[in-house]
Amino acid sequence: MSVMERAFPPEFGEAWNRRQVSDALIVGNCRYGLIAPDGTQDFESNTDTAGFFLGRGILDEEELLLFAIAPQYRMQGLGHVLLKRFIAEARANHMARLFLEMRRDNPAGHLYAAHGFREVGVRPAYYRTPGGSRIDALSQELVLDDYAGT
Ligand SMILES: CC(C)(COP(=O)(O)OP(=O)(O)OC[C@H]1O[C@@H](n2cnc3c(N)ncnc32)[C@H](O)[C@@H]1OP(=O)(O)O)[C@@H](O)C(=O)NCCC(=O)NCCS
């Protein structure tokens, strides 16, 4: 939750609250992963959490619901490390396809593309900013059978 509170721009309402996260983990077929500032999952020698993901699996498909690196740990490759781990774990869990939805022009698109995600749909004007402008949501998919690994 400490990363959640720091990572998402407040104007889009993307961050979840503690109750939403705990409900998802208890009853929602969800799993999560954490990354420490040194890129490991060693939270004995690391006192802070740098980022996390939350994914929801349904049969052999999984949606990446939340993915974030805290601002002070960005641009150091941690997003790549964590996304690679999310994909590898999904593969180990026998998932066939991964999905996610993102705001058009989110820099995260560069990261997702680097790991093989491809645009499969658009929800026009899905997000509304407090200023009243609208931003499309892009649906992206990664078919794991086609995934060569990065
Ligand atoms: C998107 C996010 C997870 C990236 O985390 P990160 O640790 O900075 O990512 P990395 O350092 O591994 O960088 C991954 C690539 O994206 C590029 N990148 C990351 N943030 C960028 C930005 N703001 N502008 C331009 N490029 C960016 C990096 O240069 C790198 O490119 P490269 O592979 O060509 O070197 C992070 O910015 C974030 O948490 N954003 C807010 C939450 C969010 O929008 N999540 C996604 C919801 S769909």
Of all protein residues, whose CA lies closest to atom 29 belonging to ligand 1?
Answer: 75
CA distance 22 to 28: 9
Which residues are within 8 A (CB) of 31 and not within 5 positions of it... i.e. 6 or more apart? 25, 54, 55, 57, 89
Chain segment 48-87, per-residue pLDDT in tens: 999 999 999 999 999 999 999 999 999 999 999 999 999 9
Whether pLDDT at 147 is above 70: no
Burial of residue 7 (CB within 10 Å: 0-12, 13-18, 19+) is: buried
Handedness of CA 78, 81, 82, 83 (dihedral sign): positive
Chain segment 115-139, per-residue pLDDT in tens: 999 999 999 999 888 788 899 999 9
Q: Is the CB of 113 under 6 A from ligand 1?
A: no
**Ligand 1 centre distance from Cα of residue 127 (Å):** 20
Ligand 1, residues 16, 74, 119, 136: which to mutate, most atoms within 8 A of Cβ? 74
3-state helix, strand, coil in the chain (%, to 5): 30, 35, 35
What pLDDT is stored for residue 130 in this prediction? 79
Helix (H) or strand (E) holding 110: helix 108-114
CA distance 61 to 48: 31
Whether pLDDT at 35 is above 60: yes
**Ligand 1 centre distance from Cα of residue 8 (Å):** 12
Ligand 1, residues 65, 76, 110: which to mutate, most atoms within 8 A of Cβ? 110
Q: Is the CB of 10 under 6 A from ligand 1?
A: no
Q: Are 97 and 141 in contact (CB under 8 A)?
A: yes
Confidence band for 101, pLDDT divided at 50, 70 and 90: very high
Three-state secondary-structure class, residue 38: coil
What pLDDT is stored for residue 132 in this prediction? 85
Q: How many structural domains does the chain have?
A: 1
What pLDDT is stored for residue 10 in this prediction? 84
Instruction: Provide the residue range defining the domain that includes 91.
Output: 2-146
What pLDDT is stored for residue 149 in this prediction? 55
Of all protein residues, whose CA lies closest to atom 5 belonging to ligand 1?
Answer: 79
Q: Is the CB of 110 under 6 A from ligand 1?
A: yes
Whether pLDDT at 14 is above 80: yes
What pLDDT is stored for residue 148 in this prediction? 55
CATH of the domain at 50: 3.40.630.30
